[in-house]
Chains A and B, each alone.
Chain A
Amino acid sequence: DAGVTQSPTHLIKTRGQQVTLRCSPISGHKSVSWYQQVLGQGPQFIFQYYEKEERGRGNFPDRFSARQFPNYSSELNVNALLLGDSALYLCASSLSTGQGARNEQFFGPGTRLTVL
């Protein structure tokens, strides 16, 4: 069974551009979370979606937006890119939104975004 998949794996953009990152959860998982991980730090929570609705939002500016589709896949959009947006963007899926051993998050390989 396929795990969480993300595309693209690497991306290079320039300041001011817009980017869309994609994520497909594990089959049967209905919740998708997005994280930003800067080198040497732990993941920072951006969004959580469940059943196409936003269930959680981290401390990120409005330039960051996301959505979830009927098949539970998700997109993360970042507008007006800044140099500081360069990071690894991780997508994680879980069965539902609740926390618990049954709802541990399974991470995709990530998208490495470089903003020049």
Chain B
Amino acid sequence: GQNIDQPTEMTATEGAIVQINCTYQTSGFNGLFWYQQHAGEAPTFLSYNVLDGLEEKGRFSSFLSRSKGYSYLLLKELQMKDSASYLCAVGNAGNNRKLIWGLGTSLAVNP
């Protein structure tokens, strides 16, 4: 089957570092995406990993281990505006190249 797991909720303090984990099981793998979604808004693209390793982009980094079916999103120097839902999505290979989405992790950043 196809399944993506990520924690439902996380809380962190402004200025701290937080790691949001995502594990997946899919029939074929064609890249993993992280999206940010603020309440009432559409998801916005954060990162993409298709090879093992760490991708860094400013305060955000994303890691992938294909053998473990595991990824994490690392947010540094947290700001209040980082309070949002973080969605992990996996692209499956094959003719139906849809994205399989996790339920999202709701992150609350406190002062």
Contact = CB atoms under 8 A, between A and B. Distances in A.
Interface of A: 33, 35, 40-45, 48, 55-58, 90, 97-101, 104-110
Given A45-B99, A56-B97, A56-B98, A100 B104 contact: no
Contacts of A35: 101
Main secondary structure of the interface of B (DSSP, over half): loop
A104 B45 contact: yes
B74 to A, nearest CB: 18
Interface in B28-66: 30-31, 33, 41-45, 48, 50
A26 B33 CA distance: 20
Contacts of B45: 104-106
Interface residues of B, number: 23
Contacts of B30: 99-100
Contact of A100 (B50, B89, B95, B98): B50
Nearest to B93: A99
